[in-house]
């Protein structure tokens, strides 16, 4: 194994350097896509603007031949191949990214779905029709070669077609005992946040396909077992122990898709701290919030990504997702007549609810907060994720929606007319101010909309109206949907983080279509709303309240 020889030599040159921590296993065995000298030299030469491009490129020939040729070339150049020759080598031995995929249109796709007729505003209705067409552009299926020669691809084979997010993300998200961070070999040790059970619930709501549930219940249980076995932490408070979950990826080396950035960041730290840094970066990627002040606050260097400490925090959203999943699993098993399993998940949900209340909930503020395991205190900064239990239905206090509204008002979140900001911290990371992301709008909007409080429901609509107009206005200017938007710059496409803002875009399209489906009879494409200042909130709600008092 040529790459192994190089790694051993490097360790010797570093003086067997992992002083404070032993070397961790690589994210996969591939000496091309996950670790080794070839990956290191190509990525550090920065042949591509985005490191992900290289690790998504298929091989033209067998990996053993590629490695043998590379080893000889590297030896001839004293393990430092000139950039131009590396480019020639890659061109000769790799295919362009995306070659393993071909277009696919879902079999049940309809040109003019029924929900479009519910949208009153003609401009919004036309726009929704254009967004609906994008599913065909984002639909993909794999070529047979991925099955016959899996060793030549970082993409993991799936016989089923799928929808990709768009932009740099041209892979599926699929169950593999858990749902990996993406359908690539280098992502296999990182999960996505656990939302597979919720997807099943959405599918059942629309199809009532109990046979499909019966066939796949154990797959759903596997995902929850993964989090229990691999991502559980114990928190002791006032003499009681509570089991909750965190993001945690104990695998070594730079992330292959961001290799050069991780390697350069590690160069700022002592050698013995680098493996820990790389593991924390992977945990941040597992959270979906890669990266954010959420994972930096509380450490010795909260202003630098080198101080990331994702695994040291117990996240509100992760535990709300699991709480919701446990409730759904209990419901599923009841539906299937399995009372013992239904009881098991009902008890798990009850235990998690008690832990959420004891560890993460703050009565004075009226919100939940991430818990810092090292500093033994809550992170009280604003993030939309602080209200995820409201969205997930994981609370017992009937007055929680009213408290959530006050929390949004106290933090002046309702004054942002282009969307709810991801935080109030301006760090340059993409999951911080001034970016707004579609899934986080959904968490707050649907959390408030489900509340019995009329005032909360109306604020949910106003937030939906703001987000729809932001997306519609940008689409009108650029004929594209984006992964994130800048609330400080008129709602223009967002920025920051490790890569350029991406077009596509799966979750942005999905949230817009969901909001148009829900509020289509009320949403308009007109001028932006005024700020929802807290003292003006009553005025914003007054027309709806007056209408509700009129005789029916």
C-alpha to C-alpha distance for 464 and 523, rounded to whole angstroms = 8
Q: What's the pLDDT score for residue 21?
A: 53
Looking at the chain, the domain(s) classified CATH 1.50.10.10 span 194-236+315-396
The answer to whether the CB of 413 falls within 8 A of the CB of 428 is no
Which helix (H) or strand (E) covers residue 542, if one does? helix 537-549
C-alpha to C-alpha distance for 447 and 452, rounded to whole angstroms = 11
C-alpha to C-alpha distance for 468 and 16, rounded to whole angstroms = 55
C-alpha to C-alpha distance for 151 and 156, rounded to whole angstroms = 10
> Phi, psi (5° rounding) for residue 486?
-100, 110
What dihedral angle (degrees, nearest 10) is formed by the CA atoms of 75, 79, 85, 86?
120
* Overall pTM > 0.85: yes
Q: Which residues contact 162 (CB under 8 A, 6 or more apart)?
A: 139, 140, 141, 172, 174
Determine the CATH number of domain 194-236+315-396: 1.50.10.10
The answer to whether the CB of 223 falls within 8 A of the CB of 194 is yes
Say whether 503 is catalytic. no
Single out the residue of 460, 461, 511 nearest to residue 481, CA to CA. 511
Q: What's the pLDDT score for residue 526?
A: 87
Give the torsion sign (CA, 46, 51, 56, 62).
Answer: positive
C-alpha to C-alpha distance for 184 and 63, rounded to whole angstroms = 16
C-alpha to C-alpha distance for 192 and 247, rounded to whole angstroms = 10
Q: What's the pLDDT score for residue 448?
A: 98
Which helix (H) or strand (E) covers residue 101, if one does? strand 101-103
C-alpha to C-alpha distance for 490 and 485, rounded to whole angstroms = 9
The one catalytic residue in 121, 201, 442, 483 is: 483
Say whether 290 is catalytic. yes
Q: What's the pLDDT score for residue 7?
A: 39
Q: Which residues contact 418 (CB under 8 A, 6 or more apart)?
A: 436, 466, 470, 485, 486, 487, 490, 491, 528
Residues β-bridged to residue 100: none
The one catalytic residue in 31, 100, 290, 486 is: 290
Residues β-bridged to residue 342: none
C-alpha to C-alpha distance for 455 and 459, rounded to whole angstroms = 6
Low-confidence ranges of the chain (pLDDT < 50): 1-20, 530, 534-536, 538-552
Tens-place pLDDT, residues 250-293: 999 999 999 999 999 999 999 999 999 999 999 999 999 999 99
Polymer length of the chain: 552
**DSSP state letter for 368:** E
- Write the DSSP string, 6-60: HHHHHHHHTTS---SSPPPPPSSS-TTTTSSHHHHHHHHTT-SSSHHHHHTPPBS
Q: Taking the CA of residue 280 as centre, how many other CA atoms within 13 Å lie in the half-sphere pointing to its CB?
A: 22
């Amino acid at each position: 194994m040529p790459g192994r020889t190089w790694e051993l030599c490097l360790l010797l040159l570093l003086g067997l350097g992992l002083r404070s921590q032993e070397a961790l296993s690589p994210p996969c065995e591939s000496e091309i896509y996950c670790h080794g000298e070839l990956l290191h030299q190509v990525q550090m030469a920065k042949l591509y603007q985005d490191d992900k491009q290289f690790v998504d490129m298929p091989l033209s020939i067998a990996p053993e031949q590629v490695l043998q040729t590379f080893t000889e070339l590297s030896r001839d150049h004293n393990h430092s191949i000139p950039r131009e020759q590396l480019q020639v080598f890659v061109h000769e031995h790799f295919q362009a990214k995306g070659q393993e995929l071909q277009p696919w249109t879902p079999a049940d796709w309809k040109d003019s779905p029924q929900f479009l007729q519910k949208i009153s505003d003609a401009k919004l209705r036309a726009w929704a029709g254009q967004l609906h067409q994008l599913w065909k552009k984002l639909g993909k299926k794999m070529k047979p070669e991925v099955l016959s020669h899996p060793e030549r691809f970082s993409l993991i084979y799936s016989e089923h077609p799928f929808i990709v997010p768009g932009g740099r993300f041209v892979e599926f998200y699929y169950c593999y005992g858990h749902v990996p961070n993406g359908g690539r070999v280098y992502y296999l040790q990182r999960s996505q946040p656990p939302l597979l059970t919720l997807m099943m619930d959405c599918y059942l709501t629309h199809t009532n396909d109990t046979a499909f549930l019966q066939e796949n219940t154990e797959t759903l249980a596997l995902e929850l077992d993964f989090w229990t076995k691999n991502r559980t932490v114990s928190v002791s408070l006032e003499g009681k122990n509570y089991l909750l979950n965190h993001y945690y990826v104990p695998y070594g080396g730079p992330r292959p898709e961001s290799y050069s950035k991780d390697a350069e960041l590690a160069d700022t730290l002592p050698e013995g701290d680098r493996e820990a840094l790389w593991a924390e970066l992977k945990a941040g990627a597992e959270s979906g919030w890669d990266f954010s002040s959420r994972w930096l606050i509380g450490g010795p260097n909260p202003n630098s990504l080198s101080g990331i400490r994702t695994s040291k925090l117990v996240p509100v959203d992760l535990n709300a997702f699991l709480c919701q999943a446990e409730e759904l699993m209990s419901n599923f098993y009841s539906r299937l007549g399995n009372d013992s399993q239904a009881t098991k998940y009902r008890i798990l949900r009850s235990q998690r609810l008690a832990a959420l209340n004891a560890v993460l909930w703050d009565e004075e503020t009226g919100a939940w907060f991430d818990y810092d395991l090292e500093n033994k205190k809550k992170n009280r900064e604003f993030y939309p994720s602080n209200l995820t239990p409201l969205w997930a239905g994981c609370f017992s206090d009937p007055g929680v929606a009213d408290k959530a509204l006050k929390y949004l008002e106290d933090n002046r979140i309702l004054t942002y007319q282009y969307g709810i900001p991801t935080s109030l911290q301006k760090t340059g990371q993409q999951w911080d101010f001034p970016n707004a992301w579609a899934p986080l709008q959904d968490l707050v909007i649907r959390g408030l909309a489900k509340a019995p409080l009329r005032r909360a429901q109306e604020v949910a609509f106003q937030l939906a109206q703001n987000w729809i107009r932001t997306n519609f206005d940008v689409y009108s200017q650029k004929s594209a949907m984006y992964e994130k938007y800048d609330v400080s710059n008129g709602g223009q496409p967002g920025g920051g983080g490790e890569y350029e803002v991406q077009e596509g875009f799966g979750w942005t399209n999905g949230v817009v279509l969901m909001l148009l489906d829900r509020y289509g009879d009320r949403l308009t494409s007109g001028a932006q709303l005024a700020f929802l200042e807290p003292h003006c909130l009553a005025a914003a709600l007054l027309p709806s309240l007056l209408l509700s008092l009129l005789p029916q």
